[in-house]
Amino acid sequence: MSSVTEKYYFERDLETIFDKVSDGILIVSLDAKILRINKALLDLGGYRQEELVGKNVLKLSKILTAQSLKKIAKSFLDAAKGVPNDLYQIQAKDRDGKIHDLEISNTLIRQNNKSLGVVVMFRDVTSRNIMANKIEEADQFLNNIINTVSDPIFVKDNQHRWIVLNDAFCKFIGQSREKLIGKSDYDFFPKKEADIFWQKDEEVFQKGKENINEENFTDAKGVTHIISTKKNIYFNNQKEKFLVGIIRDITTNKMVEQAVNESEEKFRNLFESSLDSIVILEPPAWKFIAGNPMAIKMFAVKSEKEFTALGPWNVSPKNQPDGQLSERKSKMMIEKAMKEGSNSFEWVHKKLNGEEFLAVVLLSKIKIKGKDLLQATIRDITQQRQVEEKLKERAKELAKMNKLMVGRELKMIELKEKLEKLAK
């Protein structure tokens, strides 16, 4: 095939790419003069072919920022030397003065071992960058929210590695976030404890069901806590599994139970000073017979005397979220606690002023003066649940963006390969 024929086919194929591709293409000579611009790039900038062809691309200071010109100059030098260059970004103004973020790649045009020029491919990534900035802002916003929650929160991948932690978790563990991210329980806890954590995590990963478990936990100072951990599974759009966990330190609650068996006076002191809301229920009517100061505050009642005239159904809406009557379901929860010794569950409560809130309730069977009673530890998790929902929404946004970006990158790679094939 003659050189004239080769040149004809090369120019024809190049013309076809120019007509069909949605990304901007600029052909530049080795001395940086613009030889050709495709329609997509002209439409993006709002310029005409004759306004730019023949101009030195490194002198378009009215269109390109100084920093962008430096990047282009360096990439051209690298391309002329045959040095592969990675994608890079510049900023350019269109005719109306609007700034666009452009992602660029350069390909050296060679024929018969002779360099002819450079093909510069442009992609407008302004919207993508705006989206990335919004996601970064959303990440920061979400981090600020979960860091206001006093309970430790963590997220693990399917390799049992921590990938998201709030400040409360890091403080509870006694290690910095930098040391914890990407690590697992075995890197910080005694093997006996780590074995249990791993086993319970794996049950959630395999069964896909919520798990609430009481466990011993030793912090960085060697202090052992008794914790109740609620774990649940989450799937992103790629069907990848993640484990979301919330920890409650129930050491005080367990101390209260122990204190009941040892000393009613000691129990009363712990009961009154606890930062958790604690109430006592008595059979057979199962009304409250005592409530600590935190419980009085939580339910917006005036005094313990007023509180002890109530039962669980009096501080609950008529129905729970599953449709069951609160009065009927509360008795079912009580029966289970009395039968099994304890029962932990979520419950929608209602203050006397009508305000509803979501809570985690731990019912524990206790004995005072030989009489079986129930102790209820109640914690408001309304804010915590809001954080969980935001985490799920955030994961969906990331998955959607990732899918979009991967698709565009594959198209870019395919187009670049075609150009390189034509240039040989």
pLDDT in tens, the chain (424 residues): 555 565 555 566 666 666 677 888 888 888 888 888 888 888 888 888 888 888 888 888 888 888 888 888 888 777 777 777 778 888 888 888 898 888 888 888 777 777 778 888 888 888 888 887 877 776 777 778 888 888 899 999 999 999 999 999 999 888 999 999 999 999 998 898 899 899 999 999 998 888 888 888 888 788 888 888 899 998 887 888 999 999 888 888 777 777 666 656 656 766 777 878 999 999 999 999 989 999 999 999 999 899 999 999 999 999 999 999 999 999 999 999 999 999 999 999 999 999 999 999 999 998 877 789 999 999 998 888 888 788 777 767 766 766 666 566 666 666 666 656 655 5
Name the residue ranges covered by the structural domains of the chain. 3-124, 146-249, 252-381
Output the pTM of the full model. Answer: 0.45
**Which positions ≥6 away from 297 have C-beta within 8 Å?**
277
Q: One fold for both 3-124 and 146-249?
A: yes
What is the CATH class of 146-249?
alpha beta
- Residue type at 140 in one-letter notation: Q
Question: What value, to the nearest 5°, has the Cα angle with vertex 7 and ends 5 and 10?
Answer: 110
**92 within 8 A of 45, measured Cβ to Cβ:** yes
- What are the start-end ranges of the E strands in 310-370? 342-350, 356-368
Phi/psi for 138 (5° steps) reads -65, -40
172, 197 in Cβ contact below 8 A? no
Q: Calculate the CA dihedral of residues 309, 312, 314, 319 and round it to 10 degrees.
A: -170
Residue 321: how many CB atoms within 10 A of its CB?
A: 10
For the domain bounded by 252-381, which CATH number is listed?
3.30.450.20
CB within 8 A of 219, min separation 6: which ones? 172, 173, 174, 225
pLDDT at 263: 55
Architecture of the 3-124 domain: 2-Layer Sandwich (3.30)
> Are the CB atoms for 213 and 183 separated by under 8 Å?
no
In sequence order, the 6+-apart residues with CB closer than 8 A to the CB of 250 are: 214, 226, 227, 228, 362, 377
- For residue 229, what are the β-bridge partners? 213, 247
